[in-house]
C-alpha cells in the first residue's frame, strides 16, 4: 500500500477509531491525522461511539460497530466513515449520503485469505476434523479403526456457489484447479467468462441445492439474501451435503440449520459468521457435525494489515480531495461535506 502526502492544512484532521487495527496501519494513521482511539480490545457501545465522534472529522470503524443515523447525527462536521471491512451493512449508507458523509470499505485485500478459510471449513466439516480432534483431546483415541470418523470426499464432487464476487470466484478456482470439482453457481446474473474458465454451470437456486455435494455462501447481506438458506432449502439438499458460510451470518436461518443437522438432513456445516453474532444458536454449540469458527476468515497477518492500510489510505485520499477508489456511496460526491473529486 502506498503512502500519500500529509493532508494540506494548518491542522491534521481529527479521527476517531473504534478499535485498534494492526500497527502498520495505526502508525500510518498517526502520521496523517490527529487520532483518538479505543484502547480496549472490545466492541464499543453506541453511546461510546457517539461520544467518540463528537468533534471529529472522520470515523474509522469495524463491521462489529453499528453506525446508524444516531451516530451520524452526533457530529455536524463528520465528513467520512472508513469501514474496516468488505461488507458495509453495519453502516446506514443512505443516512450518510443524505448528510454528505463519505463511506468507504476495504475490498479485495482479504479475498485469498477468506477463500482459503472457506475451503478450510469445507474440508474440516466434510472430514469431521473438529469432532475427531475433540475425541483425541478427551483421551478416547485407542488406535486406528476402519470405521472411525468416516466423512465426505471431494473426489468427483460438485461444489455449488452462491455469489460470484471476488471471494466466490477464488473458492471456485481452488475447487476446480486444486480438487477437480465440478462447479455450479447462482448469482443475480450469468458470468460467461467464469463459465468458460472453469467449466462452471449457471443454475437456479433449487437446482444448485439439489445437485451440490458442497454449498458455499459468498453473497452480501441485503433483504434478498436474508435467510437465503432456511428450512425449505435444507429439505432440497442431499443428506450427504456440507454447507459453508463465510459471508454474513443472517444469510442462514440458524434455527433451521440446527434442526437440519440434528435430523441428519445434511451431513455437516462449517460456519465463520452467525445470525446474531457474537451470540450463537445454542443448539449448534451442542452438535458434533458443525465446525464453528469465531469470524476469522480474513485473520492472516497480511490480510488484516492490508485491510488497515487500505482503510487509512481511503481517509488520506479523501482528505487530499481525491475520491477513494473504495467509495461505496458515489452519489454523495454531489453534496459531500468536503471537496472531493
- Residues serving a catalytic function are 248, 277, 295
| Cβ contacts of 277 within 8 Å, gap of 6 or more | 64, 249, 295
Sign, CA torsion 270/275/280/282:
negative
**C-alpha cell of residue 228:** 437465503
Residues facing 61 on adjacent strands: 83
**C-alpha cell of residue 297:** 476468515
Amino acid at each position: 500500500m502506498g503512502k500519500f502526502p500529509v493532508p494540506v492544512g494548518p491542522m491534521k484532521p481529527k479521527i476517531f477509531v473504534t478499535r485498534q487495527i494492526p500497527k502498520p496501519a495505526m502508525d500510518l494513521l498517526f502520521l496523517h491525522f490527529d487520532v483518538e482511539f479505543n484502547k480496549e480490545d472490545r466492541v464499543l457501545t453506541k453511546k461510546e461511539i457517539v461520544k467518540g465522534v463528537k468533534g471529529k472529522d472522520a470515523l474509522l470503524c469495524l463491521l462489529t460497530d453499528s453506525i446508524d443515523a444516531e451516530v451520524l447525527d452526533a457530529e455536524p462536521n463528520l465528513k467520512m466513515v472508513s469501514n474496516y471491512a468488505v461488507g458495509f451493512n453495519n453502516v446506514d449508507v443512505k443516512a450518510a449520503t443524505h448528510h454528505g458523509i463519505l463511506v468507504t470499505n476495504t475490498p479485495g485485500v482479504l479475498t485469498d485469505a477468506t477463500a482459503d478459510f472457506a475451503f478450510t471449513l469445507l474440508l474440516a466439516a466434510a472430514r469431521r476434523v473438529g469432532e475427531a480432534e475433540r475425541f483425541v483431546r478427551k483421551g478416547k483415541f485407542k488406535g486406528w479403526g476402519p470405521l472411525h470418523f468416516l466423512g465426505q470426499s471431494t473426489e468427483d464432487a460438485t461444489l455449488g456457489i452462491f455469489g460470484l464476487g471476488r471471494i466466490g470466484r477464488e473458492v471456485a478456482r481452488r475447487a476446480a484447479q486444486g480438487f477437480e470439482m465440478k462447479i455450479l453457481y447462482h448469482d443475480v446474473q450469468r458470468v460467461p467468462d467464469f463459465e468458460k474458465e472453469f467449466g462452471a454451470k449457471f443454475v437456479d437456486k433449487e437446482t444448485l441445492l439439489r445437485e451440490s455435494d458442497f454449498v458455499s455462501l459468498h453473497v452480501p447481506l441485503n433483504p434478498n439474501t436474508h435467510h437465503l438458506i432456511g428450512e425449505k432449502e435444507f429439505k432440497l439438499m442431499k443428506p450427504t451435503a456440507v454447507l459453508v458460510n463465510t459471508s454474513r451470518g443472517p444469510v442462514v436461518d440458524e434455527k433451521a440449520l440446527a434442526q437440519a443437522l440434528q435430523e441428519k438432513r445434511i451431513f455437516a456445516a462449517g460456519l465463520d459468521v452467525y445470525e446474531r453474532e457474537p451470540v450463537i444458536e445454542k443448539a449448534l454449540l451442542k452438535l458434533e457435525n458443525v465446525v464453528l469458527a469465531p469470524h476469522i476468515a480474513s485473520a492472516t497477518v497480511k490480510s488484516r494489515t492490508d485491510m488497515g492500510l487500505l482503510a487509512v489510505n481511503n481517509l488520506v485520499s479523501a482528505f487530499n480531495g481525491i475520491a477513494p477508489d473504495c467509495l461505496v456511496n458515489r452519489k454523495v460526491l454531489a453534496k459531500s461535506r468536503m471537496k472531493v473529486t
